[in-house]
Structures are given as C-alpha cells and as structure tokens.
Amino acid sequence: MIDNLRQHIINRVGKKPDNLEHVLDHFEEFSGERGQHLLVQGDVCKHVYYIAAGCIQVYIIDRQGQESTREFYVEDQWVTDIFGFQNQLPANESIKCVEACRLLRIHYDSFQLLSQQAPQFAAIYKEILEVSYNNTVYRVNALTAMNALERIRWLMENKPKIMTRLSSKLIASYLGISPETMTRLKSKL
Amino acid sequence: MIDNLRQHIINRVGKKPDNLEHVLDHFEEFSGERGQHLLVQGDVCKHVYYIAAGCIQVYIIDRQGQESTREFYVEDQWVTDIFGFQNQLPANESIKCVEACRLLRIHYDSFQLLSQQAPQFAAIYKEILEVSYNNTVYRVNALTAMNALERIRWLMENKPKIMTRLSSKLIASYLGISPETMTRLKSKL
DNA sequence: GACAGTCCTTGACAAATGTCAAGACTTTAT
DNA sequence: ATAAAGTCTTGACATTTGTCAAGGACTGTC
C-alpha cells in the first residue's frame, strides 16, 4: 500500500526525493469499511487521507435530510476537509467510504511539520490544492449553466468511471437531482 | 491605490515584512472601465489582479449564449484564472469589470519570481487559494442542495453586499436561475 | 428633449423536475 | 437459503422553473 504512495510522490516530483522515506514514515495504514465515516460534520478533521484503493464520498445533509454529494475521490487521490484541517475548525461536510477502502493517513502535526521541512511536500500540496480548486470551479460552472440532462452527459464525458462505478442514487446526489429524474433521463441518452 | 495593497499584505502577514516595498514594486496600476474584459475565454491569463475598488465578474457562456457567473470579486480581493495562470493554459472562463475598477496587477513572471524569493508572498498565495477553494466548495453545496428560493436566502445571509450592489440579472446568473424567476421569488422573501 | 438600449416586472403557458406510492429486483447479513 | 434492507423503475400528479411576449422604468448619447 505504501508503494502506491511512494510512486505517487515520485511521479509528482519527477524523481525520487532524498527524504522520501522520511516523509513516508509519517503515514499510517488505515482501513475503512464500506459506510464507515472518516469525518462527521461538526468534528475537526485531524488527518489527510491518501486513497490506495476504494472510493470516498464528501457530502452534506440538505434540509430534507438527504445526502448531497460534493465530490467523490478514488484511487491515487487525496481527501480531507482542507479548510477545516488547515485551520483546525469544525467541518461543514462529512466524509465516508462508499466502498471498502485501503488508506494511508497523515496526522495534522506531521503534515505541518513536513510542510516546513520538505519543500517538495509543500509543492505537492500546492499542486493538489490548485487541481482541486480547478475541479470545483468546473463543477460550479456545470451546476449553474447546465440542466439535469446536460449534467449527466457532462459526467459521462468527464468522469465516466464514476458513472459506472457508483449507484444511480449516489450519482443523482452528486448531480443535484432526484433518483427518479436520474432514472428517467438515462433513457434519453 | 498601492496603499490598499500594502495594508492588505501587512494584515495578512501580521507585521510589515522587510521586503514589502520590493514586492510592491512588481505591481502596476491598471484601470478597468465598466464592461471591460481582463480576460477572454481561450486566452492565456498573464496577470493576477488585486482589486482596490470596483467589482469583477468571472463567468462562462452557456449553450444558449447566456452568461453564467461563477463568482464576483470586490475590493480587497484577488482575481485571476488560477489554474490557467499557474500552468499558462487557455482559460475556460472570462473575467470582466461590472463596475469601473481600480486595480493593481502583477505579471506571471514577477509572480513566479516572488513566489520563490519571498516566502511570505507564497504563504499569502496559499492562504488565498485555500479560502477560494473553501468558498467554491460552499457554492457547490449550495447549488446541489438548495432550490432557487433557498439559494437567494443563502446569498442574502452570506453575501448581502453582493445582493444589493449588483443588478438582479447578474445575481440570477450567479444563482443559476432566470431573471424572471428571480423577480418572482423576491416577492416570496 | 428624443432616441435607443437595457433592465425589471408581469402574465400566460410550456417544460423540467420533484414527490409519493407501489412493485420488481439486488444486495447484504445471518 | 432466507429474510431484511436497500435500490431501481414506473406511473400519476404537484410544484418549480423556464420561455416568450409585452409594457413601463431607467440610463446614456446625441
């Protein structure tokens, strides 16, 4: 499992950093069962998770008690409540495993330490932050500019793996539509 | 105008940095008329803008040729096409002044230089990036979990100044609803 | 002051989407 | 293997939202 993360870092940095093993020492293995929460809204997020295998959902509960999914994360991606983590403030979102997950996690204290000690670690974080921001910007534009059918097509083109991997109900909660509308529109594709 | 930026930086860093004037030297004054574009979709963004006065809209054009607003930025905020800027890739969004604006802008080359030379400059950038990401995350959740009326209420509570400052048409394009729906729902508040 | 252009509002209607309920089907746990 | 729980689909209907058209209000320009 640690091999995935090692390779992930090497790919990003472009070569094997001198202090790579030191960085990896700060991570611990963590298994998440299907349905298990990594973070519940209101709690302070203490870890950043690297996903070696599985799929994770970040969501809120809307006024009717329904899950509304902000994002899904899969293998070779990172997940945390970034703002709450960096400022050690209560989270607005919940994070849970929608599949059995094999994870590597790093604690807040270690993360801050490495951010100072290891410039390449800080650089990777910055890059991930920029990509995450960019993805979220795309998503805002999709949500404001497209109707339900267009959003489904957008998802199929841009995240086809998510589309086939997850249940319709989860996809619907990600697109901001009801499961019934999802069913009906699928026949119009 | 440069005084605004000087104070902005001092507020963020917590004290006056030694190299502050050196940093400020890399900025140039720039005036934007109402309606003037700072960036057009497809172009590569060469500057980051600090807004000393005015209001700026970041938007895309949807399938029907309508503007769909991703975000508004006002005094004491920064605006650019972050991902396109950092990677010098064509922008997916357009940026324009919705009011007459007094701006300070820094060129890509200077920005990269300062990011290396001035740790505090890099730290401010990281902080802005995190706050921007967090705002966008909030926005995704509002768009997926709320209907039109709830979104209007959300805007009134969270960005009351935007609500009163800009035209209904612009607000509607920000909320992802038609101007007519905007008019009708305002009477239900 | 006249004009063009834009915005805001309203009405009538159409289209999109949500809600509720029921049954078939899958998956999960025991 | 069976029961329990959750998911998917479909129908009927309600609600929300969009579209088109028209008129009044406002703004900037000549």
State the CATH number of the domain containing residue B111.
2.60.120.10
Q: Which of B151, B153, B152 is nearest to B140 (CA)?
A: B151
* pLDDT, tens digit (0-9, with 9 covering 90-100), for B46-94: 999 999 999 999 999 998 889 999 999 999 999 999 999 999 999 999 9
pLDDT of residue B174: 97
Contact with chain A for residue B90, Cβ under 8 A = no
Q: Is residue A66 part of a domain?
A: yes
Contact with chain B for residue A174, Cβ under 8 A = yes
Q: Is residue B50 part of a domain?
A: yes
**Alpha helices per DSSP H over chain B:** 2-13, 20-24, 82-87, 108-117, 119-145, 148-158, 160-165, 168-175, 179-186
Q: What kind and span of H or E run contains A185?
A: helix A179-186
The Cα of B133 is separated from the nearest Cα of chain A by a number of Å equal to 5
Task: Say yes or no: Cβ of A64 under 7 A from any atom of strand D.
Answer: no
Q: Is residue B80 part of a domain?
A: yes
pLDDT of residue A15: 87
User: Tokens at residue B166, please?
Assistant: 């800009």
Contact with chain B for residue A112, Cβ under 8 A = no
Domain span including residue B25: 2-115
Q: Is residue A24 part of a domain?
A: yes
pLDDT of residue B188: 87
Q: Is residue A40 part of a domain?
A: yes
Q: Which of B96, B168, B139, B125 is nearest to A138 (CA)?
A: B139
Q: Is residue B163 part of a domain?
A: no
pLDDT of residue A31: 92
Q: Which of A6, A10, A52, A57 is nearest to A31 (CA)?
A: A52
Q: Is residue B103 part of a domain?
A: yes
* A176 CA – D15 C1', rounded, Å: 17
Are B42 and B91 in contact by the 8 Å Cβ rule? The answer is yes
Average pLDDT across each block of 10 residues of chain A; the chain has 189 residues. List them in order: 93 89 95 93 97 95 91 96 95 95 96 93 92 95 95 94 94 96 92
CA distance B7 to A21: 42
Taking CB atoms and an 8 Å limit, are B133 and A83 in contact across chains?
yes
Mark residues 39-68 of chain A whose C-beta is closer than 7 A to nucleic acid strand C: 64
Are A136 and B137 in contact by the 8 Å Cβ rule? The answer is yes
How many domains, in total, are found in chain B?
1
Q: Is residue B43 part of a domain?
A: yes
Contact with chain A for residue B81, Cβ under 8 A = no
Which residues in chain A touch residue B72, judged by CB atoms under 8 angstroms apart?
Answer: none
Position B18 pLDDT exceeds 90? no
